[in-house]
Amino acid sequence: MKTYKLAIAGGGSTYTPGIVRSLMDRLEDLPLEEIRFYDIDGERQSKVVVAATAVIREYSDSIKVLDTTDPETAFTDVDFVFAQMRVGKYAMRELDEKIPLSHDVVGQETCGPGGLAYGLRTIFPMVELIDFVEQYAKKDCWIVNYSNPASIVAEGVRKLRPDARVLNICDMPVATMRNMSAILGVERDELKVDYFGLNHFGWFTRVEVDGVDRLPELRKHVSEHGLLTEDVSKIDYRHADASWIKTFKNIKPIMDFFPDYLPNPYLQYYLLPEYIVENSNKEYTRANEVMDGREKSLFETVRKYEETGVLEDAFHVGVHGIFIVDVTVSLAQNLGERHLVMVENNGTIPNLPADAMIEVPASITSDGPVPEYVGEIPYFHKAMIDQQLASEKLLVEAITEGSYEKALQAFTLNKTIPSAIVAKKILDDLIEANQAYWPTLNKSFSEGVLV
């Protein structure tokens, strides 16, 4: 029986123990001989690996566990790499959220100016990771990438490392499907959905169960409850806290305005920005929630485990861990399973640019994703995607060229930002905050004075 070596880049993530439990649940489909944890923050990772190892030992005594900060040690001869980097950790996420909010603009880690800031921090480290993997790993190694902001990272990889074996994925569509299935009273794997867009910027156009489109039924439910069951305990624990409940409720006004398709929940930041800002706490954002919740809980669990030998937190398997493992099993076993992933367009949506990194259904084979043909999309959705795509492409050009002007263009085009004046104020504040992470952005123009 073939066994695999797998590395987790960003092993110090709070998501790591949950992903490991998902891997353990699928050992028959993806037999592992070794799991390597790699992070540039070795102290943080070593604590997370304590919890991850405890989970592994519940299932197997034979799987080798390696905790390292050395890329050669981490990636030599591995078959798969899970990438889940958070450059700047939660301290920078907090600034990504609070600096835009200080200008009355959406503060969110992957959407709006916060997402652009995060992208500017992440593209070059992602390219460095790809280079390490290509240098040390097996030639057919796949990187399955969860690193955010996924759409910008995917565009950066497409531009800078076009031949890399990277599969960019996101669990937000899967989490949305989880809510759909709970509302419809079926299992998530019973759903067959059609979807198009960019990451965190797309629409479900059909939701089939046994060949019947249940989208009209979902539309009626959303008009009353948002994309939530009346009993929120049926929602995945990771998406069941107050801010996520609000997120899924906000689908209701979007569908009231535009009822044809079911939107990705993150479209609220682009279509309802004033409402989002008005209902945001500028002093306590989602970053603070995570630091006071999931982050604190994990390290407290580790502390108690080291004292007592009892792992109090079960690290439940949620859609985040399930999805990345499902995709990897399909890659490993050449199953051709259908999943929503990011691919280069190349005619999948004919009225979008061929080089757009879109999110659509695809069959996952050992050679990578094979996207399903979507066809031309309506003008409204195309126009929105074109604007968002231009913002993301300009950002990638800004970082690769060191161009302040293109960064400003990227911020100005982003639909969450009301004007170039506001875009420049936010960009300048973020440059100051990201001095340790961003490349230098050189200005090619003289600044005028507004009177």
Question: What is the C-alpha separation between 421 and 450, in angstroms, rounded?
Answer: 9
User: What is the DSSP code string of 302-368?
Assistant: HHHHHHHS---------HHHHHHHHHHHHHHHT--EEEEEEEE-TTSSTTS-TT-EEEEEEEEETTE
Q: Which domain holds residue 161?
A: 4-168
pLDDT digits (tens, 9 = 90+) for 262-274: 999 999 999 999 9
Give kind and range of the element (H or E) at residue 371: strand 368-371
What is the Cα Rg of the chain in Å? 21
- The answer as to whether 262 is a domain residue is no
* Contact call for residues 113 and 269 (beta carbons, < 8 A): no
Residue entry with tokens 């993806």: 30
pLDDT at res. 403: 97
pLDDT digits (tens, 9 = 90+) for 311-359: 877 677 789 999 999 999 999 999 999 999 999 999 999 999 999 999 9
Positions marked catalytic: 171, 266
Q: Is the pLDDT of residue 173 over 70?
A: yes
Return the amino acid letter for 321: G
Q: Is 299 helix (H, G, I), strand (E, B) or coil?
A: helix
* Contact call for residues 325 and 23 (beta carbons, < 8 A): yes
Average pLDDT over the chain, rounded to an integer = 94
- The answer as to whether 103 is a domain residue is yes
Q: What is the domain count for the chain?
A: 1
Angle 420-433/89-101 helices, nearest 10 degrees?
Answer: 150
- The answer as to whether 162 is a domain residue is yes
Question: What is the C-alpha separation between 68 and 399, in angstroms, rounded?
Answer: 29
Beta bridge pairs of residue 80: 6, 142
- The answer as to whether 74 is a domain residue is yes
Q: Is 279 helix (H, G, I), strand (E, B) or coil?
A: coil
Is the model more confident about 308 or about 65?
A: 65
pLDDT digits (tens, 9 = 90+) for 379-428: 999 999 999 999 999 999 999 999 999 999 999 999 999 999 999 999 99
Where residue 115 sits, what CATH number does that domain have? Answer: 3.40.50.720
Q: Which band of pLDDT confidence, cut at 50, 70 and 90, is reported for residue 1?
A: confident
pLDDT digits (tens, 9 = 90+) for 8-26: 999 999 999 999 999 999 9
- The answer as to whether 25 is a domain residue is yes
Residues 6+ away with beta carbon under 8 Å from 186: 209
Q: Is the pLDDT of residue 435 over 90?
A: yes
Task: Return the half-sphere exposure (C-beta side, CA atoms, 13 A cut-off) of residue 88.
Answer: 24
pLDDT at res. 234: 59
- The answer as to whether 426 is a domain residue is no
* Contact call for residues 411 and 423 (beta carbons, < 8 A): yes
Q: Which band of pLDDT confidence, cut at 50, 70 and 90, is reported for residue 47?
A: very high
Beta bridge pairs of residue 97: none
10 Å CB burial of residue 91 (0-12, 13-18, 19+) is exposed
Q: Is the pLDDT of residue 231 over 80?
A: no
* Contact call for residues 421 and 450 (beta carbons, < 8 A): yes
pLDDT at res. 244: 86
- The answer as to whether 297 is a domain residue is no
Q: Is 164 helix (H, G, I), strand (E, B) or coil?
A: coil
Residues 6+ away with beta carbon under 8 Å from 99: 107, 113, 114, 117, 426, 429, 430, 433
User: What is the DSSP code string of 182-213?
Assistant: HHHTS-GGGEEEEEEEETTEEEEEEEEETTEE
Q: Is the pLDDT of residue 237 over 50?
A: no
**Cα–Cα separations (whole angstroms), residue 412 to 112, 113, 118, 358:** 10, 10, 16, 22
pLDDT digits (tens, 9 = 90+) for 111-156: 999 999 999 999 999 999 999 999 999 999 999 999 999 999 999 9
Question: What is the C-alpha separation between 123 and 398, in angstroms, rounded?
Answer: 11
pLDDT at res. 17: 93
Verdict on whether the full-model pTM lies above 0.85: yes
- The answer as to whether 29 is a domain residue is yes
